[in-house]
Amino acid sequence: MKRTSITIIGMGPRGLSVFERLAALALHRQLLLDLILIEPGECGPGVHAMRQPQHLLINTLASQVTMFPAPGAVRHAPVCATPSLTEWARQAGYRRVDSHYYRLGGSGGHDIADTDYLPRGLLGEYLAWVYQQVAAALPAGVTVAHHRQRAVDLSLRPDGSCVIELESGYIVASDYVFLTTGHGSNLPSDLDAWLAKFAQDHARYNSRLLFMRQVYPVGQLSRIGAGARVAIQGLGLSAHDVIAELTVGRGGAFVDGADGGLRYVRSGSEPRLTLCSRNCLPFAARGVNQKGLDGRHQARHFTVDAVAALRRQALIARGSSQLDFDRDLLPLLAREIGAAWRAAAALDAVASSHSPDAAALDIAASSRSPDDDALLAALLFPLQDRQFATLADFRRYFRDWLQADLAEARRGNLASPAKAATDVLRDVRATLQAAIEHGGLTPASHRKFLNVYHPAINRAAFGPPLRRNAELLALLDAGVIELHAGPGSRIDIDETDSTYLLTTKFSHGTAQQPIDVVIMARLDPFVPESDTSLLIRNLLKRGLIRPYYNGMFHPGGIDLNRAGQPLDARGAPLANVWALGYLTEGAHYYTHALPRPRLRSRQVWDAEQCVMALAAKIDPHQRKQPVASASKHDTLQSN
């Protein structure tokens, strides 16, 4: 009986989801499979390394993270136990001691709560554990080979099967392939190259001078000396990792302050930090979760059905089903945001004993207000039409905004109208995907959405735990972080003093600050033609993949059909290959989020769809037979 070989290139979380679905398929259909895993590190964690400092946190509640499908969301049930990240951490004996987590068993410290944001290293441990549990539960007819190398090339045989070349030159033949390579890096931009060359040329005159284009692994930040003037370009989640590593990672500590906030105690080893970005505003903190593990806003206006109806209308009126986000979708989103705001405000009135009845609450949530558009604009673009006379004016605004946002976050994502409204942007992600993916927007609208609305949505709704912004406030108070830039700042060079120069124009003059170290606190988007991966470059060279274009606009990612199969240079699908995750961020939208318990999550659904398509190609009469030459735990360690 013929066996089927299946290769997964990249065994981070996306590859792990495919592996989990293949295991379920093999068990329930009694298939004979040879699973080949190509991953230079451990299987499961991907970028979430197990051995990293505990002050690097995930930005999602651990109780809302799982690697397993919700009951009833997939064809075949998982092959092993399915705990969430929080449930696994409790079962593994982890307990919280202050802000750290240790395996203490049943005594000492505090129980891990559903509201805890766990260290990223624990997420890595969980992902490795998931892999081990799924692998251990594979049926006897399945073998596993793990090649601890990178794939550098892939070619097709005439029958559609694949040949994969590893970095050592070793060749792997496989009937089917899943591309789940995850995050990568791009070639330096012209600006990056200019800033890097300046640091290289002038280091002899300024020993602190340094340009850091990548922040991970954060251990490389140890090259930055105490007292160096450091500009962190970006105020998002990567910036918080940099700040944590250069403060707590240098021996500093946050302690409870007399006013109920935090106070930072210096170690003396910290650099002098400043922040800069296009808007120079931090990501809004996530509100305290009041929705439970699987609660979410139930949309009434901005829905998948509403998007489908708009497409039908556009096809009739304009001959194309593509939509314009501003004209067609933004009014519905503004109405949804306004409804959530008013519902939270009505609940606040109940708490204040003004006692509207249930009908009044329903009217508040469903009615439309002429202020909806202005509300959405204020939440997404707080600096819109706002000018600052001086750097001092912007510093006051920055601090006031941070304090006000923290106050709203502490109220919670149901009690605070602001956090209830911005939380909608997370809860309607599936509708945004239905609106955007596979050319759902016109090319011009797609470009504007990714350049304007997407970063604003990230800043308003996908920010850090509120503690991170409380820490930011404490660091401002301690003088460890001092703002020297505002909106629209730029990084120049000073040839005379051998420093970078952080420059911002204000209405009453220009502010400038010499800088020794520039850190680009951002992750590279996946742009196939500038990606540094040899595998991607060779796939492009062979014409097996092509960049995704919506008209003349390239949002990133590779082109693929709705079945998840890459399209070659001629537009034909690779029949035996599927791509998932970051590679597809372009034709798809927001593929980053990990699955949530009890909900039908995109990552699981993509894996399920692709694995079931593979199942349809495998001989339906294939059945398990005794295999003398292979064991389910056969592992090939290639070095």
Which residue in this structure is represented by tokens 């149901």? 414
Tell me how far apart the alpha carbons of residues 317 and 201 are, in angstroms, rounded to a whole number.
60
* First vs last C-alpha separation in the chain: 32
Binned average pLDDT, 10 residues per bin, the chain of 639 residues: 93 97 96 97 94 93 94 93 96 92 87 94 97 97 97 96 97 98 93 96 96 94 96 95 97 90 96 96 94 90 97 96 98 96 86 56 61 95 94 97 96 96 96 97 98 96 94 97 96 96 96 97 94 97 98 97 97 97 96 89 94 88 43 36
19 Cβ contact list (under 8 Å, min separation 6):
8, 11, 35, 37, 43, 131, 134, 135
Q: What is the 3-state secondary structure (H, E, C) of 536-601?
A: HHHHHHHCCCCECCECCECCCCECECCCCCEECCCCCECCCEEECHHHHECCECCCCCCCCCCCCC
- Residue 357 has a pLDDT of 56
Nearest to 346 by CA among 424, 420, 422: 420
- Residue 42 has a pLDDT of 96
Give the residues across from 143 on adjacent strands. Answer: 34
- Residue 260 has a pLDDT of 82
Rounded to two decimals, the pTM is 0.92
Nearest to 484 by CA among 280, 182, 268: 280
Helix (H, G, I), strand (E, B) or coil at 130: helix
Burial 200-219 (b: 16+ CB within 10 A, else e): eebeeebebbbbbbebbebe
Domains and CATH numbers, the chain: 4-50+120-186+525-617 (3.50.50.60), 190-281+465-520 (3.50.50.60), 304-383+395-425 (no CATH)
Neighbours of 404 (CB within 10 A): 11
DSSP assignments along 341-370, one per residue: HHHHHHHHHHHTT----HHHHHHHHH---T
**Amino acid sitting at position 408:** E
**Edge-to-edge order in the sheet of strand 171-174:** 151-156, 162-166, 171-174
- Residue 362 has a pLDDT of 58
Provide the token pair at 622: 């294939």
CA atoms within 13 A on the CB side of 250: 25
